[in-house]
Amino acid sequence: MHEQESAPDAARQATSLIFGFAFSQMLGTAVRLGLPDLIGETSKTVADLAAETGTDHDSLRRLMRALAQLGVVTTTGDDSVELTPLGRLFRGDAEFSLHPMAALYGDPAWWRAWGSLEASIRTGAPGFDIAFGSGFFDHLDTDPALAGRFHRAMSTLSRIQIPDAVRGISFSPGERLVDVGGGDGTLLAAILAAEPSLHGTVFDTEGALSHAEEMLRTAGVADRADAEAGDFFESVPAGRDVYLLKNILHDWDDESCVRILRNCRTAVAPTGRILVVTALVPDWDRARGDANLMTAFGDMEMLVMTTGRERTIGEYERLFEQADLRLGETTTLSTELDSHLVTALPR
């Protein structure tokens, strides 16, 4: 009887997994239409929202009813809706806004790439390459809208991870830091604000750096920081004490990672270090009990979107060895986010 009684519960759990794509698309649609920002702190009628967004009233009402079941809005008897505390996270002005993440994961290009997951499993090629005929990062150069969504989403992810990174990474007074692939400078700005004696450079492509100088000025650290454009496959700014790679190496295959690490190894001061902030997947025999769900998802996303992967600590150690580095200390920054600080030292 026990197995029979548990079968409906298992089926309900399985159904929620199957329908996950629809939940993501509903949120992405709501964000692209600007609904959380239009509702704001007030109550809005669906009729007003339909008029402001140029959408069909009945269809929008049905979407709102579905979002209420997800806990994003509450509905009232007069055809009005209000944001819940969860729903407020999807406003663009929320402190830890998930608006950029919802916009990215609901983007048609993202869905098209994930639609090629089976082809990725069969061939080993990235789903994005299969769907679009070019690599993800090359494609961003030709699609400014997607590039904007991607960089904003990565900035959001940085803001979520920043408190743990700032608390967990130790620096010596006066050290010079390069945030390699640091995007708009969100992480570097937070580190410099917390460490008044440090000086830093955010290093990335010209497009990724478009808002970096503004970010550094807003954080009040522009007198100790600069932004430098370049290609980390060619070189990185030389002579600094610390090279930080947060969520960078998982985007690339092993050969590319070794090139990036070798460039950091060439550039780093003799007594310096390279800090890799990353998720870590467990060894295969520990995969069920110790794996973080978001890390498992992230590994699949790397398969679909890039040539990269999430790695074990042993796989990172092998990359370091090929780049004339050795594995130093590894510490956990956040168990919940499965974020770790892996140190590489010159050999």
Alpha-carbon distance of 343 to 275, in angstroms, equals 5
Tokens of 156: 């959001």
| Phi and psi torsions of 37, nearest 5° | -70, -35
Q: In the beta sheet, which residues pair with residue 45?
A: 80
Q: Estimate to the nearest angstrom the gap between the alpha carbon of 268 and the chain centroid.
A: 26
**Is there a contact between 29 and 107 (Cβ–Cβ < 8 Å)?**
no
Is residue 199 part of the annotated active site? The answer reads no
Tokens of 234: 């060619």
Q: Which of 99, 139, 151, 250 is catalytic?
A: 250
Say which DSSP state 106 is in: T
Q: Convert 138-168 to b/e letters by CB count within 10 Å (16 or more is b).
A: ebbeeeeebbbbbbbbbbbbbbebbebbeee
Q: Which residues are catalytic?
A: 250
